[in-house]
Amino acid sequence: MTGDTPPPPPLSELRERAQVVALPMRTHFRGIDVREVMILEGPEGATEFSPFPEYGDAEASAWLEAAIDFGWHPAPEPLRDSIPVNATVPAVAADAAAGVLERFEGCRTAKVKVAEPGQRLADDVARVRAVREIMGPEGRIRLDANGAWNLDEAEHAVHALAEFDLEYVEQPCAGLDELAELRRRIRYLGIPVAADESVRKADDPLAVARAGAADLLVIKAQPLGGPRRAAAIVAAAGLPAVVSSALDSSVGLAMGAALAAALPTLDYDCGLGTAALLAADVTAEPLRPVGGSIPVRRVVPDPALLDAYAVAADRRAWWIARLERCYEVLTARAAR
């Protein structure tokens, strides 16, 4: 754990309270069609542990730290009771964009995925053009490349997409030096650069701010150890923040909403509307956007849904083993 955080609950308690589900998605996204998550029940309510399967134990342990933070400790004091959110448009064909946006009721900002492996810049241009036509001139459009472009590719792509009046471009390149140089090259266009992976996957999440490599930060509660630790990172960075999800269930989205509610300012719509991308959830009252916002509240899982979408025994065993390994990482770190 970090700082003066109390020690985690006993591992046996976590194991006993763990329920693992596989939630089908409406659209292929981030290379997956089903999202597996572990739901835990703590003294403060339901919480989520859901690092993606390919993440190693060291990285995934921060997600367990977040689950414990949200489930076993009070959330930060909220400054607002609802969070404005953006729509998220996966790397779908341009003619499918309208169907995706319909699921994000009232959202006036859209994050559009670009630089998808196997696609071309022309596909990105067509998708972003379709979103702009649907949202009209007053809608806000931001791009997310997940660090897939090199510096020259990013510069070329930003020029090709600038005509669509971009709010910002998120993680266009993977490295800090590339981000800083791209930011310098496109400054005259007035398109800010946001950092995501350079924050949540970095040994030092503040390095991107010190390097002058981004205009704003995309912050996710789970990968950064929970609402309290993530809020401290935002405060130390001194940059505007967009609180986003990691394709969580509504339980994980409630954690992100608790973080967003505690920040002194929210200059941008948050990426916490992604329950709309799921075909099923763990609650009968999912945190889907209504009027462009989601409420700040604890989510209560529905036992019938947890049972209906429970994973097979071998997948549950895989997740329990992962929980145990990540717990060892956390306790070893706390002992140092």
Catalytic residue flag (residue 201): no
Helix (H) or strand (E) holding 197: helix 197-200
Residues in the chain: 336
What is the side-by-side order of every strand in the sheet holding 19-29? 19-29, 32-42, 45-49
DSSP symbol at 271: B
Which helix H or strand E contains 160, and what residues bound it? helix 151-161
Please, where in the chain does CATH 3.30.390.10 lie?
A: 11-74+303-335
User: Of 220, 228, 288, 322, which one is the catalytic site residue?
Assistant: 220
Residue linked to tokens 């241009």: 125
DSSP tag of 104: S
Range(s) within the chain of domains with CATH label 3.20.20.120: 82-295
Element at 113 (helix H, strand E): strand 109-113
Return contacts of 49-52, CB within 8 angstroms, 24+ apart. 49/18, 49/222, 49/323, 49/326, 50/222, 50/246, 50/248, 50/249, 50/252, 51/222, 51/223, 52/246
> From residue 52, how far is each of 32, 127, 247 by CA, in Å?
10, 26, 9
Nearest-angstrom CA–CA distance, 6 and 244: 26
Residue 196 is labelled as binding a ligand = yes
| 213-231 tens-digit pLDDT | 999 999 999 999 999 999 9
Report the phi/psi class of residue 216: left, alpha or beta, with left for phi > 0 and alpha for psi in -120 to 50: beta
The answer to whether residue 309 scores a pLDDT higher than 80 is yes
Q: Residue 316 is encoded by which pair of tokens?
A: 């549950």
Domain 11-74+303-335, CATH: 3.30.390.10
To the question of whether residue 170 is assigned a binding role by annotation, the answer is yes
CATH number of 82-295: 3.20.20.120
Catalytically annotated residue among 35, 103, 113, 183: 113
3-state helix, strand, coil in the chain (%, to 5): 40, 20, 40
Q: Is the whole-model pTM more than 0.75?
A: yes
- Mean pLDDT along residues 24-45: 93
Q: How far apart are CA 74 and CA 306, in angstroms?
A: 24
Assess whether pLDDT exceeds 80 at residue 3. no
* pLDDT at 2 exceeding the cut of 50: no
| Res. 334 pLDDT band, cuts 50 70 90 | confident
Q: What is the mean pLDDT of residues 249-259?
A: 98
